[in-house]
């Protein structure tokens, strides 16, 4: 790390979430002065100053941004939810609010956590490069739709006076995640993880959270006037693409659940997911139905989607600092309590 970064004040928006907590820990280790802004409080740390508020509200954000050298924006509603209004409000309107408030207060650097899914519309992507892939013209869900709007707004705001960059991770996994491992385990418990969507040979990126954090910190360190990274987006991956179903099998068997074995045709499942989504939409004025298979989930589980992180290597010296094996080991150790053979005691208080 550049010596001059020591003691610099940063604000992690979404710092109480999965990625945010890992980012805070790494920033503290590197000597940054860390502040967190989040809508909820999930942990305590005497080294961190916490601000609880809504990023859509200027009056909540302003005090947290005073004197800040760099803002990391990694807040979002849960990606697998389907709340269109909330996604637009937080990911798009809220991000524009962050940009405006930074500019008003005089903050000069903004690192956005975007997503590689901004270029994914269900068709295979192999070793995708930033300069070759346009934004998805037909995004598969509202989350992706609003991540595209968000990224465009952040990159367009880059100027000689305000430096912005977007990090596009893919399939983040690691301890403290409430999504990938817990959802897969929940599906396994319900008997929904016996199946393989398609031939099982689709190759994807899963990225250990420590590598995603490393990419964010390098971006902040390199975000200066005239730097090649200003106004650009960067894929950050483990650079170890793997069969989607091999990765899921390692997670499941690592926690003593059986490996998925029964193949189901991709196209059939995709059509079923589209029909279920349509039925859920038709019935939405009367009841809320949340189909467990969405077109996005089926596509992610049954197509290729892996990306090149060469541009991040060239422009900011990025290379993964954890291998997939190391990441999986750390992850599985942290989820032992979700293992199939773990007996959970229920203490009844009468």
Ligand X SMILES: CC(C)=CCC[C@@H](C)[C@H]1CC[C@H]2C3=C(CC[C@]12C)[C@@]1(C)CCC(=O)C[C@@H]1CC3
Given the rule CB under 6 A, which residues bind ligand NDP?
Answer: 14, 16-20, 38-40, 54-56, 74-79, 90, 94, 113, 115, 147, 169-172, 179
- Report 178-217 residues binding ligand X (CB under 6 A): 179-180, 183-184, 187
Q: Tell me the C-alpha distance between 55 and 62, whole Å.
A: 10
Give the separation between CA 143 and CA 84, rounded to whole angstroms: 8
From the CB of residue 196, how many other CB atoms can be counted at a distance below 10 Å? 23
- Percent helix, strand, coil in the chain (nearest 5)? 45, 15, 40
Instruction: Indicate left, alpha or beta for 88 from its phi (over 0: left) and psi (-120 to 50: alpha).
Output: alpha
Report which DSSP code applies to 130.
Answer: G
Q: Which of residues 214-273 bind ligand X (CB under 6 A)?
A: 248
Per CB under 6 A, does 86 bind ligand X?
no
Q: Does 323 bind ligand X (CB under 6 A)?
A: no
With CB under 5 to 8 Å by kind, the binding choice for 128 among ligand NDP, ligand X, none is none
Minimal distance, residue 205 CB to ligand X, in Å? 9
Q: Which residues of 200-229 are buried (b: 16+ CB within 10 A; e: fewer)?
A: bebbbbbbbbbbbbbbbbbbbbbbeeebeb
Q: Which is nearer to ligand X, 32 or 270 (CB)?
A: 270
Work out how close the CB of 76 gets to ligand X at its nearest, in angstroms, rounded to a whole number.
Answer: 8
Contacted by 184, from ligand X, ligand NDP, none: CB < 5 to 8 Å by type: ligand X
Closest-approach residue to ligand NDP (CB): 17
335 is catalytic: no
Cα–Cα distance for residue pair 46/323, rounded to 1 Å: 31
Residue 71 or 184 having the CB closest to ligand X: 184
At 254, which helix (H) or strand (E)?
helix 244-254
Known catalytic residues?
Answer: 143
Binding site for ligand X (CB under 6 A): 79-80, 115, 117, 171, 179-180, 183-184, 187, 248, 297, 300-301
């Amino acid at each position: 790390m550049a010596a001059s970064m020591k003691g610099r004040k940063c604000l992690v928006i979404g710092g109480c979430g999965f990625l945010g907590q890992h980012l805070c820990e790494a920033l503290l280790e590197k000597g940054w002065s860390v502040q967190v802004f989040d809508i909820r409080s999930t942990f305590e740390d005497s080294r961190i100053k916490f601000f609880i508020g809504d990023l859509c509200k200027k009056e909540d954000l302003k005090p947290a941004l005073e004197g800040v050298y760099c803002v990391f924006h990694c807040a979002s509603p849960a990606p697998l939810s389907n709340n269109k209004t909330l996604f637009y409000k937080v990911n798009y309107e809220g991000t524009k609010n962050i940009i405006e408030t930074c500019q008003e207060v005089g903050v000069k650097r903004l690192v956005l956590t975007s997503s590689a899914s901004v270029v994914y519309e269900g068709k295979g992507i192999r070793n995708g490069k930033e300069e070759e892939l346009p934004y998805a013209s037909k995004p598969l869900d509202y989350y992706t739709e609003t991540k595209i709007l968000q990224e465009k707004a952040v990159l367009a705001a880059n100027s000689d006076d305000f430096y912005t960059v977007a990090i596009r991770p893919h399939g983040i996994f690691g301890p403290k995640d409430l999504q990938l491992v817990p959802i897969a385990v929940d599906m396994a418990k319900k008997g929904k993880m016996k199946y393989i969507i398609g031939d099982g040979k689709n190759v994807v990126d899963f990225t250990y959270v420590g590598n995603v954090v490393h990419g964010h910190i390098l971006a902040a360190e390199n975000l200066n006037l005239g730097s090649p990274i200003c106004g650009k987006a960067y894929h950050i991956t483990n650079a170890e693409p793997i069969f989607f179903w091999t990765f899921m099998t390692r997670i499941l068997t690592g926690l003593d659940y059986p490996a998925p074995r029964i193949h189901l045709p991709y196209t059939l499942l995709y059509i079923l997911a589209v029909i279920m989504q349509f039925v859920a939409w038709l019935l939405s004025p009367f009841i809320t139905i949340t189909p467990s298979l969405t077109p996005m989930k089926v596509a992610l589980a049954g197509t290729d989607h892996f990306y090149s992180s060469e541009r991040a290597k060239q422009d900011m010296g990025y290379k993964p600092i954890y291998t997939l094996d190391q990441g999986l080991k750390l992850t599985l150790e942290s989820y032992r309590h979700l293992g199939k053979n773990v007996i959970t005691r229920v203490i009844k208080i009468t």
